[in-house]
Amino acid sequence: MSREQEVVQACPTELFIGGKWRSADGGRTLAVEDPSTGTTLCDVADASPADGVAALDAAVAAQAEWAATAPRERGEILRRTYELMTQRADELALLMTLEMGKPVAESKGEIAYAAEFFRWFAEEAVRIDGGYQVAPNGQGRFLVMRQPVGPCLLITPWNFPAAMGARKIGPAVAAGCTMVIKPAAQTPLSMLKLAELMTEAGLPAGVLNVITTSDSGGVMEPLIRDPRTRKLSFTGSTPVGRSLIEQSAEQVLRTSMELGGNAPFLVFSDADLDQAVEGAMLAKMRNGGEACTAANRIYVHSSVLEDFAAKLTEKMSALKVGRGTEDGVQVGPLIDGKQRDKVKDLVDDAVQQGARVLTGAEVAEGKGYFYPPTVLTDVPKSARLQKEEIFGPVAPLTAFDTEDEAVAMANDTEFGLVSYLFTRDLARALRVSEKLETGMIGLNQGIVSNPAAPFGGVKQSGLGREGGSVGIDEYLEVKYVAVNLD
Ligand code: NAP
């Protein structure tokens, strides 16, 4: 048996409910595909709405006891999870590459990033504070305590199969919440494996329940509308997020929403061009462009556009595309045929509207959903890819002349997740940073994600923050006690 088969075979494929692995209602299953070959890796349980309710039942049953555990105990479980993930990084990374497609080196990067959320929230679990205050009139006292929100629903996308879950499970466990998590049907294996690992790390039965399903709407909607659910944390696209907010309105459910992005990347004339190109490679090509933080619109000052384009094109055209398990591969396939067709349509549309192809844009024949690293220049404002998330390895370049024009173009979107800004002028860096309408800014750097920093967007990129010292707040309620001293 090959190492790949061994790793897939060692991964659980059933639902994880109340600390037990069990098959779905009626034994239904769904296939998990390797996007680099289009072949089936294995079948996992395909939960029905009744399975979903069983998972919520388990989370609700475990909530009171879990909330009463010592913060140190919760922290230690998270710490052990971090250690186990780190020790087994090779196996976890290979599993991720098989189901999602990104090169193994990138999967290892994601495993390290995901593990860091467990380390970070292991440290935060013992720092949940409260307050004691003298009332302004000097007579009464205010006590403020922070308590776990209660049973949570967590929904995650396929593009970061481990990290998007870790970013929610870490703080939820630290805060004392129980949860039902539903990974994307296309990449359920990393989450099932993580559940196994957290059990080994000592997580009690019922705290984390995992359901996999081909019917995400049918299974999740009843749970969102269930009065026992106290919180929904979603990472995914803006249209789905919007509909989940609507469903959450019925129970006035607390929601955290990490939604789509359309990141502008600004290169001013005084930027260190080599640094800006390196930054663009990271901001564009991390995860093959399938990232909410991906630079989607690259605006370059007209005086340096030609140089920047030449340097970026050289790097993009040198990238090795292939199956993520092969040595030296830097760009894997896109997640599926639909996504590849979408990227192709967006590029064709831009070209029809006058954009010039500097490299890429030609889909190779053969198995797997590959799309070549592509650079387009002179991309007009009317091109669809200036408005829609590309989610692929396509870098569209557009010139600007003034700072005000650059800021206006950057902000001309309903999204507001992240922007990138390259300049050596400190005053400009601060001035522009204050004007950019995004939750995060990469200043002279192409990556902003860090478990110790607050990740999240404004406008239609979402609500709330994950990570940092505020990440745990999403899973805590504030309760205030008015104390009468008379
Ligand atoms: P998606 O289609 O919105 O799906 C995200 C998750 O929601 C998946 O688990 C999906 O399950 C589930 N889902 C879909 N429809 C649902 C429904 N009606 N009810 C309940 N759950 C439902 O997004 P995606 O294509 O997987 O991921 C890409 C998107 O995520 C991009 O827009 C990207 O920007 C965004 N994203 C944002 C962040 C951030 O931190 N802001 C991070 C990563 C990704 P199934 O797929 O199994 O149906």
- pLDDT attached to residue 365: 87
Out of 164, 292, 334, mutate this one to test ligand 1's pocket (max ligand atoms within 8 Å of CB): namely 292
pLDDT of residue 284: 98
Report which residue type is found at 206: G
pLDDT (0 to 100) of residue 47: 98
Q: Which pLDDT value is given to residue 310?
A: 98
Q: What's the rounded Cα separation, in Å, for the pair 452 and 393? A: 28
177 is catalytic: no
Q: Residue 121 is encoded by which pair of tokens?
A: 């929230």
Domains of the chain are 3-260+461-481 (3.40.605.10), 263-414+418-450 (3.40.309.10)
Instruction: Judge whether 48 and 216 are in contact, CB under 8 Å.
Output: no
426 CA from centroid of ligand 1 (Å): 37
Q: Number of C-alpha atoms within 13 angstroms, CB side, residue 423?
A: 21
From the candidates 11, 42, 152, 292, give the one annotated as an active-site residue: 292
Model confidence pLDDT, tens digit, residues 118-143: 999 999 999 999 999 999 999 999 99
Q: Indicate if ligand 1 lies below 6 Å from the C-beta of 236.
A: yes
Query: DSSP assignment of 286-344, as one string?
Result: GGGG-STT-EEEEEEETTTHHHHHHHHHHHHHTPPBS-TTSTT--B---S-HHHHHHHH
- CA 63 to ligand 1 center in whole angstroms: 26
Cβ–ligand 1 distance for 220 under 6 Å, the answer: yes
3-state secondary structure at position 235: strand
* Residue 364 confidence (pLDDT): 85
pLDDT of residue 342: 97
CA–CA gap between residue 457 and residue 445 (Å, rounded): 18
Residue 67 alpha carbon to ligand 1 centre in Å: 29
Q: Whose CA is nearest to atom 10 of ligand 1?
A: 184
pLDDT number for residue 473: 98
Contact present, 4 and 96 (Cβ < 8 Å): no
Greatest Cα-to-Cα distance within the chain, rounded to the nearest angstrom = 82
**What's residue 39's pLDDT?**
96
pLDDT for position 426:
98
User: Which stretches of the chain drop beneath a pLDDT of 70?
Assistant: none
pTM for this model (two decimals): 0.98
Ligand 1 atom 19 nearest Cα? 217
Ligand 1: atom nearest CA of 241 is 3
- Look up 292 and say whether it is catalytic: yes
CA of 236 to the centre of ligand 1 (A): 3
Report whether residue 185 contacts ligand 1, using a CB cutoff of 6 Å.
yes
Q: Is 237 in the pocket of ligand 1 (CB under 6 A)?
A: yes
